[in-house]
Amino acid sequence: MNNNNQELLKLIESYDTIAVFRHVNPDGDALGSQCGFAKWVKHNYPEKTVYLLGSNEHNYKIYPMMDDVSDLGVFLAVVIDTANRPRIDDERYLLGDKLVKIDHHPEVDPYGDVQIVDTKRGSACEIVTDVLRSFDKEFTEDIANTLLSGILTDTIRFSVEAVSSKTLQSAAYLMDQGANITKLNQDLFTMPRAVFELKNKIVQNVQVKNAFSYIVMDKTQLEAINSTSREVKGFVNVMSGIEEFAIWAIFTQEEDGLFEGSVRSRNNTINDIVAEFGGGGHRLASGVSGLTLEQRDALIAALAKRSTE
């Protein structure tokens, strides 16, 4: 067990109350790592109070509801899958007596009294799995399923470049603890007919510049298809399987009139370009928010240029 893992275990055992946070607009890895970590603590330390904090606004049905609590008292704050503090969902992490960061994104904000960051890992759930394994305590089938869900979603079923033999070893361990990869794939990657029909409406808005494909949905367009920015951005990978598209993105207009963007790439680096517009993320998967119309169009032009390099 390395020193950071030892420090985390000491903190877990030292606090009666632990609050677990993740980033805004959560994906499966954020929810899986947050909930999986919390379930592990609750199972191995049943006398402790463990809270899940953040919004319940997401498209996943397999995760528990977040906790509605007003007074946290004295607590340990654990933030998972969140590279920088402005993206933490629920600012009460600031009230924590101690702060732990567990993450796999490029290091842009080294916050936390204890930092467990490995940018070579494919998901936060992979890191959480290995950290918790090092403590040599019990895993349940439920904990294993929750953590494997995040590995599956963030690696797009083991298909991205961040997948390594360590990723597969972590997944194998979780399956050995009872995780059902077949059922998880069905729960996470199948959709009802209404969602299928929504996807078809979104695809009709694809535009192409060079080897860059993108979708722009303003508020009027979102209203026309009876959808939301959050729902539409979840379809960013609808363009991922097209041979001629090297980079793809979805831009949606928010209530304040500004645009958010989700950008993905097959091989071309994109996070450096996205960072120039105030966003960030992984080399091949990044996001940005607060874009004016002019900034959105400038980012589109830059990504179109990068797609040919």
* Per-residue confidence (pLDDT) for residue 205, from 0 to 100: 97
Average pLDDT in the chain: 96
Supply the pLDDT for residue 2. Answer: 85
Please compute the mean of the pLDDT values over residues 63-77 and round it to a whole number. Answer: 97
Cα 271 to chain center, whole Å?
16
Question: What's the rounded Cα separation, in Å, for the pair 82 and 103?
Answer: 6
Q: Which residues contact 246 (CB under 8 A, 6 or more apart)?
A: 211, 212, 265, 266, 267, 268, 307, 308
Q: How far apart, in whole angstroms, are the C-alpha atoms of residue 284 and residue 301?
A: 17
| Separation of alpha carbons 276 and 257, rounded Å | 20
Please give the pLDDT value at position 200: 96
Task: Give how far Cα 285 sits from Cα of 75, 208, 279, Å.
Answer: 33, 19, 11
What is the pLDDT, as a whole number, of residue 1? 72
What is the pLDDT at residue 286? Answer: 94
Structural domains in the chain, CATH included, are 3-189 (3.90.1640.10), 193-306 (3.10.310.30)
Q: What is the mean pLDDT of residues 253-260?
A: 96
175 burial via Cβ count (<10 Å: 0-12, 13-18, 19+)? middle
Locate tokens 């370009």: which residue? 273
- Residue-wise pLDDT for 40-50, tens only, equals 999 999 999 99
- Whether the Cβ atoms of residue 151 and residue 122 lie closer than 8 Å to each other: yes
User: pTM of the prediction?
Assistant: 0.91
Helix-helix angle 124-134:3-14, to 10 degrees: 80
Summarised one tens digit per residue, pLDDT across range 187-216 is 999 999 999 999 999 999 999 999 999 999
Strand arrangement of the beta sheet that strand 114-117 belongs to: 49-52, 17-21, 76-80, 98-103, 114-117
